[in-house]
Structure 1
C-alpha cells in the first residue's frame, strides 16, 4: 500500500456521524493551539470549540473567553472523555501526545495531533497498532497528524504535476527550510526532529515512497548560530527507489521564513516557495520572475494550508473518515528523524529502521 493510500480510513455506512456541528476540544492553547481555536471559531464551518485544556489555566481561561460556549477542562483526559466532545485537537507538548492520542482512540473520537505524533518511533508505532486494532473492530480510523504542508495549494499543485507525468519521473528534490530565528534552547538535533521532519513528510507525500537512508553534513556554521548549534545543516534523504532529496536547514538566517521545494524530473522541473506560485521549467520555457516578498514566519507562509487542513479534518470527522496524513505517516516521520539524529551524531550514512506495515 502506498503512502497516499494510507491517508484516508473508510467507515461503514452505519457509523455514527454528528448530526449538527462537530464539538471539538483543543488540548494545549499555546501558539498553535490558540491559533487552532481561533481558526475553528472564525474560519471553519461545521465545528465549534466547546472545551479547551492547558497546563496554564489562566491562559486556557483567556482563550475560552473569546469563544462563546467554550469552557475550560483542567484535565485533558477528562476533556477527551467528555460526552459533549466529539473530536479532539492535540496541540500539547510532544511528551504528552502518546497518552492523549491513545485516549482518543480508546474513546473512539477523531483526533488531529500536531506533529510529532509522539517523541520517538517506538511510541508512535504503538499508536499505529492501537489504531489498527480499533479499525479492525469498527472499520474506522481516527488519527490525523498535523503535517499541514500537504494541504498547501502550492504543494498540492506540485503533487498533481508529478502524478500527471508533466515533468517525467522525479529524480532529485532540492529543499530549503529557513527560519529567521528560533528560541535559544533549540538544539542541532531539534533541527532534524522539529524542522527537517516537515521535509521528511513532504518527500513521502510528493514521491509516494519511503525513505531508506539519511546522511547529515555540517557546513561551516554561521557566526550568528547559538553556541553549540551547527547551523546550517545539509541533510540527504535516499528513497527506496534511489531518488535523492537534499535539504538545507538554516534556522538562524535573520531574514525571514523561507520554504522552497524543487523537483527535478526527466523532462523538466518545478519549484514552489518563491512567493510566485509554482514555477515550472521545460523545453522552450522562458521562465518566471520571482517576487521579493518573504513571509516573517510559518503562520503567514502556511496560513492557508492550516485553514484547509482544519476544514478538511472537520468535514472528514463528520463523515467518519480521515482525510490527511495518518498514524503511519507520523510513525514513518519519527523513524526517519531517528535515523537523522543518529547520522548527525555519527557523521555516517544511516539506514532507516522501520517495521513492516
Structure 2
C-alpha cells in the first residue's frame, strides 16, 4: 500500500491521503474580495486528487495584505465573496478545504510580483505598514509603524473575527501563517523584532504574540476542527530565527493544541542565503517531527510522486504540500495515484477519464451504455 495514499486523521477531519495543495497567493482579489478567478482556481485544484486544499494567505485586515490584490476576510463583503466558491468546492469535491489566515506586517503595501514586488509609496496608493518594530524589510523602504498595545489587540481580534467567518463559510481547517517574513514570523525573528517590552528580546517574549494569536483563534474555532501553523524553520541568516528556536516554539504550540506544523523557511531578510533543490526543506520537517511528535507537512520543490512517497514512507513528514507542481499539473494527485497504485476521488462526470491500465484509479466504477 502506498504511504502517500494512506489516510490520516486530524481531530475529526479524516483525510484520504497525505497530499495537500499548498496555499498560493494569487494576487487577484478586488479590495480583498474573491472573484471569478478564485472560483476557477479553487474549484479546479480541489479536484487535483489532494485530500486537502488550502486557500491562499487570507489577510485579516486591509493593511495586513501583501499587495492590493491579496485576498482578505475582514468584513461581510469579503465573506460573501468567498461563500459561493467554498460551497461549490464542497459540493463538487471530497477534498477538505482549509484556509491560511495571515497578516503581512512590514511586507505589506507591495506591488504584485509581476509588477516588480517593490514597496508602493503611500502617495501612489500604498499604505503605512505595521510591524513589531520600526525596522524596514530592506534598506530604502518606508519603515513600518511599531505596533502599540492597541494595535496588538486590534490584530488579535482581527484573527479571531476571520476565524469565526471562516467557520461560517464551512472551512474545515485553519492554518496560521507564521512564516516567510510576515507578521507572526516578524515577532519571532530577532532580525525584525527589536522590541524591549514583553514582546521582544528573549525567545519567550518573541513567541508571546504569535502564541496569543494561536490561543485566541483556537478558542473560537470549533474544537473538532484542526488548526495548524506554517513556520519558517530558519531565516538562513546568522543571528536570525533558527531550527532550535523553531522546535521550542512548536513545543509550545503543541501544548496549546496545534494539529500540524507546515515547515518552510526564509523570508525574513533579503540577506538570506538559500540553495534550493528538490526536498531541500524536508530535513526541517523531519527535525520538528522528531523533536515534538506533532504531525508535519513537508514543502519545497517536491514535484515527483516517488519523492513524495519516499518522504512519507520514511517518516520524514506526515504530509506533503505542493504549490508550483499543482499549478503545472492540476491533476497531480491522479497521476501520483496511478504511479503508486493509489486511488483518488473524482466526480462522476470524470470517471470515464481513467486510462484502461489504471482501471481502479477512481475505485470500482461502472457505466451504463446506450
More strand by share: 1
- Greater RCO (CA < 8 Å, at least 6 residues apart): 1
